[in-house]
Amino acid sequence: MSAYGDGPKGGMLRMDTQIEVISVLSNSPDANEATRAIRLWIESKQRKGKAEQDIIVKLEGMECQFLTSDHTVHGAFHVARQETGLPTSGVLP
């Protein structure tokens, strides 16, 4: 069971901050959990009406932090971008 979700405030992480996403990516070996964390973060920004380019810039900043890490994380970023309608990464291979 994940420690985060789409629910209201409470004991669960909401995935609306980069710190929450980075924490999941750094601590979970599960590709599905990593993808979900990134997707929830992107969707939270889209719900708040953030411009697509602003979301992409922040997303690329997170991607840069994981350039040399496990390729599982790279795949999670690629899938989350696809699921949310964002263009492919200009940072990750």
Which helix (H) or strand (E) covers residue 62, if one does?
A: helix 52-65
Q: Is residue 31 part of a domain?
A: yes
Q: Which structural domain range is residue 51 located in?
A: 18-84
Q: Side chain identity at 72, as an amino acid letter? A: T
Taking the model in full, what pTM does it have?
0.85
Provide the phi-psi class of 83: left if phi over 0, else alpha when psi is between -120 and 50, else beta: alpha
- Report yes or no on 12 lying in a domain: no
Query: What does the pLDDT read at residue 71?
Result: 83
Would 11 be classed as within a structural domain?
no
Which residue type sits at 37?
A
Count of domains for the chain: 1
- Mean per-residue pLDDT over the chain, rounded: 88
pLDDT > 70? residue 59: yes
What pLDDT shows up at residue 4?
53
pLDDT at 55 over 90: yes
Candidates 74, 49, 70, 71; CA nearest to 60 is: 74
For residue 4, the cross-strand partners are 13
Rg (CA), the chain: 12
